[in-house]
């Protein structure tokens, strides 16, 4: 159920989207791009607050506000990547000058900020953890789309964001996949490193061939991380059934 609090939060986030759109795209901003971003924003926001209501949270924390900002930046990046595919001016402004990479790097840095705020104000909750993970995956997915459309990287790049969705599907199918994983700095570092490598691929100084190698390294890092977690869950299941 949509209430006044949710509408107020979405409205505030949409205002942030419009301000950032104007500041980032400036002369390249068109009514069509505003419409694209609005539709994407409404779809993603609907999903966010559907999950928020599912967890029956009574507060949208400061940490989640920062995560929401990360999602807004990701939406803008998606719009840029799609339009750059057919608009040479946008391609030149954001890819040839590495602005796309800089904006994506800002989104990655904010990933550390929301985690710090959650710890600083003791705001950790189940929704915040899921929201943070999905924001990470969304950014990786958009970086993958961007590389595929504008940097001639092969379709294998989509394996990187697919892992999380395969993991979630497996959780519904296998009971032993539903155990809570322990805190892991390696898991956090591997996600950040994988994302950072995809961002580096967008630099004007990185050639398409080098981008393909960096994507493979990113894929290896994230594969090893998920394999490590799945193995831990499987061993725990064996231990519980002894």
CA distance 214 to 232: 27
User: What residue has token string 């994988």?
Assistant: 194
| Burial (CB count within 10 angstroms: exposed 0-12, middle 13-18, buried 19+), residue 79 | buried
Q: Provide the pLDDT for residue 1.
A: 47
User: What residue has token string 């996949």?
Assistant: 177
Q: Provide the pLDDT for residue 148.
A: 95
Nearest to 75 by CA among 39, 32, 28, 112: 39
pLDDT above 70 coverage of the chain, percent: 98
pLDDT tens figures, 114-172: 888 988 888 888 899 899 999 999 999 999 999 999 988 999 999 999 998 898 888 88
Q: Are 211 and 149 in contact (CB under 8 A)?
A: no
User: What residue has token string 């400061």?
Assistant: 62
Non-local CB neighbours of 129 within 8 Å, separated by 6+ positions: none
* C-alpha separations of 168 from 30, 145, 185, 208, 231 in Å: 37, 21, 21, 32, 15
Domains of the chain in start order, with CATH, are 4-240 (1.20.120.1760)
């Amino acid at each position: 159920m949509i209430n006044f609090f949710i509408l107020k939060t979405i409205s505030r986030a949409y205002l942030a989207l419009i301000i950032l759109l104007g500041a980032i795209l400036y002369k390249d901003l068109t009514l069509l791009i505003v419409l694209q971003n609005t539709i994407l924003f409404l779809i993603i926001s609907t999903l966010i607050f559907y999950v928020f209501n599912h967890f029956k949270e009574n507060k949208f924390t400061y940490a989640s506000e920062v995560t929401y900002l990360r999602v807004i930046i990701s939406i803008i990046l998606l719009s840029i990547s799609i339009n750059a595919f057919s608009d040479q001016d946008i391609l030149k402004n954001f890819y040839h000058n590495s602005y796309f990479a800089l904006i994506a790097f800002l989104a990655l840095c904010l990933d550390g900020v929301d985690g710090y705020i959650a710890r600083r104000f003791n705001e950790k909750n189940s929704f915040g953890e899921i929201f943070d993970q999905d924001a990470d995956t969304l950014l990786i997915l958009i970086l993958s789309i961007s590389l595929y459309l504008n940097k001639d990287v092969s379709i294998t790049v989509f394996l990187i964001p697919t892992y999380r969705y395969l993991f979630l599907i497996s959780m519904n199918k296998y009971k032993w996949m539903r155990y809570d994983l322990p805190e892991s700095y390696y898991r956090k570092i591997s996600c950040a490193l994988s994302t950072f490598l995809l961002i580096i691929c967008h630099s004007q100084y990185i050639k398409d061939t080098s981008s393909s190698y960096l994507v493979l390294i990113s894929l290896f890092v994230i594969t090893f991380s998920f394999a490590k977690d799945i193995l831990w869950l499987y061993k725990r299941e064996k231990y519980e059934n002894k």
